Amino acid sequence: MLPQVLFSGLALGSIYGLVALGFALVFKATDVLNFAQGMFVVVGAFLAVTAGTQLHLPFALTLMFIVVAAALIGAAIQALLIRPLTGRSMLSIIMVTIALSIVLRALIEIIFGPQPRALTTPMPTGVFIVEGVRISQLHMLAAGVSWLCLGLFALFFRFTTFGLQMRATANGHEAALVSGINVDFVNRVAWAIGSVLAAIGGLFLAQLQLASTELEGIGLLALPAVVIGGLQSIPGAIIGGLLVGLIEQLASSYVSPRSADIFVYTLLLLVLMVRPWGLFGQRELGRV
């Protein structure tokens, strides 16, 4: 039982980590806590439904469609909603992201109806059985792709000029402006990346489960994930995602499915009380 639960927890946790990375990235680069990140996951799922189930695009085109459309949506939201609010209080920007998630949910329910949609893609649905542990191929693929994305972003941040500019912007806005960085553009790219990461998570969640607006709740697990990991820390977001996945599956299996949230948010509370800058954040930057 335990290895089975650990496998599921790590696989789902990898997806949460991916979504949480998008959330942390937007926060680091633009100082915005994006409460619409959960809805971006749903948007990704329904982009997949649109491309795969409704337009019958080949899978490769479906993937491209999801990435491009999600990036455009993220960038458009930054340009139209977030940028004009530069300099406003964090609270008013948070309210805007909450309003955004409500509007997106309503739009999706108007376009696709309130019922969940089943997504069918050529992704594998089989299983490997290793010493009694059932290793779902789809979970493996989801975890693999999540780690690939995480790896690619790590390389991008470490070794490219634009990645360096993003890290610099995350470190200080005014400093970035003073140093000749086009901060507005960096912010737009951060929103686009955050949206794409959420959409990839949404694609996998829709294939693992169903495309429905209820995926928002799973997307919002990114929030405890980043707070536990450390709001300012990119590796923290990923490890926070894994932890949330593990805790969720352990609690569901050994206590009750309903208890999962209690355990996740209790850990969140403990972290906020004992180490408010998160497990991997830095003390001086531990603003929450």
Rounded least distance, CB 129 to another protein, Å: 7
| Of 60 and 126, CB closest to another protein | 126
In this chain, which of 54, 64, 125, 266 binds another protein, going by CB under 8 A?
A: 125
Q: Could you tell me which residues are beta bridge partners of residue 129?
A: 134
DSSP-assigned letters across all residues of 86-151: TTS-HHHHHHHHHHHHHHHHHHHHHHH-SS-B----SS---EEEETTEEEEHHHHHHHHHHHHHHH
Q: Which amino acid is at 157?
A: F
Site string for another protein, 136-165 (x = CB under 8 A): xxxx---------------------x--xx
Rounded least distance, CB 207 to another protein, Å: 8
Rounded least distance, CB 114 to another protein, Å: 6
In this chain, which stretch among 58-66, 72-80, 223-231, 249-257 interacts with another protein, using CB under 8 A? Answer: 249-257
What angle is formed at CA 79 by the lines to CA 100 and CA 149, rounded to 5 degrees?
A: 80
Separation CA 43–CA 219 (nearest Å): 11
Tokens encoding 193: 């990346």
Q: Is 238 in the site for another protein (CB under 8 A)?
A: no
Q: Is 188 in the site for another protein (CB under 8 A)?
A: no
According to CB under 8 A, which residues from 47 to 86 bind another protein? 86
| Of 65 and 185, CB closest to another protein | 185
Rounded least distance, CB 124 to another protein, Å: 9
Cβ atoms of 209 and 136 closer than 8 Å: no
Q: Reduce the DSSP state of residue 211 to 3 states and report it.
A: strand
Instruction: Please give the size of the binding site for another protein, defined by CB under 8 A.
Output: 59
CA distances, 168 to each of 30, 80, 83, 192, 241 (Å):
12, 24, 19, 18, 24
Q: Reduce the DSSP state of residue 246 to 3 states and report it.
A: helix
Site string for another protein, 260-279 (x = CB under 8 A): x-------------------
CA neighbor of 197 nearest in space, from 137, 159, 241: 241
User: Left (φ > 0), alpha (ψ -120 to 50) or beta: where does 37 sit?
Assistant: alpha
Site string for another protein, 83-122 (x = CB under 8 A): ---xx--------------------------xxxxx-x--
State the residues that interact with another protein by CB under 8 A.
Answer: 1, 4-5, 8, 12, 86-87, 114-118, 120, 125-127, 129, 134, 136-139, 161, 164-165, 167-168, 171-184, 205, 208-210, 212, 214-215, 217-218, 248-249, 252-253, 256-258, 260, 282
